[in-house]
Amino acid sequence: MQAFGSQGIFRVGKQLFFLFCQGRLPKNSPQLRASTEFPHKKVQDLQGFTARYNVLFMPYPKTASVALASCRDYEKKCLEERLESLLAATGLAVRPGERILVKPNLVSGKNPLACTEPALAAAVCAYALDHDADVTVADSPAFGSAALVAEKTGLQSALAPLGLRVETLNEPASRGLSFSAQIGVSRKALEADRIFNLPRLKAHCQMRLSLAVKNLFGCVTGIRKAIAHSRYGECENRFEAMILDIGDMLPPSINLLDGVTCMHKTGPTDGEALELGFLALSENPVALDTCIAHMLGLEPRDLTLWAEAVERGIPGASLEDLCFPLEQPDAFPCDAFIVPHILKPVSFRPSRLALSALKRLCAHFR
């Protein structure tokens, strides 16, 4: 058997978790124990595991494709054309019968700019439905319900002609983290065949930026996200490690970042609009984030989540890992985008946890 480098080991660990979720891997197997030390660490006895579970492990390619395309507004035809070209450039497609979770960012109903653009989400859903996929649109806001936020931001209205309704990512399944802790991830996310991840390029008052990897944190159910902020926010790199761990647990993703109209200066809910006029797509959320951070003139030392990905050696965390099949990053000047310089603590105060619980309780009885 071919020797595996760090990229191969990374994918091996991820597939081990999929097998465990599907019930094909015994809970106490040595392979699972090795993988839960975590996917970026060494996994033992691959030859025996491969033979027993009939799995072909292929290392990630040395380069990760990030497709960039100009898009000046959210006009339906333009979005459809750009989506087709971005997917074709990266060799990605939705297969008939595939269970697709479309994962918008529905952080708050107070400001539509804080959330995924309804027209973009509708274009993605229409594409998936046209390819005979089984489509679910869902998120799990820390405050309130996904359906309520979707109504306030216009997402529900945009999806109505497609016969879709926004659901909440609930039904938590406990999953182990790399530092001997547990997190509740929605079964709807874990059981999808693929996640169509739809972040908007936003400044973030705690993380400096909110991009593709951070949006996947929304697959953690409800108030558990706020609890994770409080529990791990001030514990060295644990919050960043948790977010990357969650990405490892999830099914493969197609990550489409909205850089048409961004949120800058602060965020993730109350920043200012800035038009940059592009869309970016990659199957690797880390690679997509690396590309955007580079476009904004940032370094790993500026973004703790990126620094953690570099430390782990995750494919796509280095600019040298990336290739650009369409436009080059310098085709989209981002000098006007202002990132927060002074960050707030990642940890939430107890009062904010109580507010989260109250809002979710109120949303339940609406």
Question: Does CATH place domain 64-364 in 3.40.50.11440?
Answer: yes
d(CA 180, CA 161): 45
Candidates 220, 246, 58, 24; CA nearest to 139 is: 220
104-134 tens-digit pLDDT: 999 999 999 999 999 999 999 999 999 999 9
Domain boundaries, the chain: 6-53, 64-364
Candidates 101, 131, 237; CA nearest to 179 is: 237
Instruction: Quote the pLDDT of residue 240.
Output: 96
Which of residues 50 and 329 earns the better pLDDT score?
A: 329
Instruction: Quote the pLDDT of residue 222.
Output: 87
Which of residues 240 and 236 earns the better pLDDT score?
A: 240
Going by pLDDT thresholds of 50, 70 and 90, the confidence category of residue 233 is confident
pLDDT at 69 over 60: yes
Going by pLDDT thresholds of 50, 70 and 90, the confidence category of residue 175 is very high
Candidates 287, 365, 360; CA nearest to 90 is: 287
- Amino acid identity of residue 49, one-letter, is F
Evaluated on CA atoms 45, 46, 48, 53, the torsion sign reads: positive
d(CA 268, CA 357): 20
Strand segments, DSSP code E, in the chain are 64-65, 67-70, 99-104, 134-139, 166-168, 172-176, 182-186, 194-198, 200-204, 208-210, 253-264, 272-282, 322-323
Which of residues 53 and 226 earns the better pLDDT score?
A: 226
d(CA 239, CA 87): 32
Candidates 143, 134, 133; CA nearest to 106 is: 143
Stretch 7-36: mean pLDDT, rounded? 44
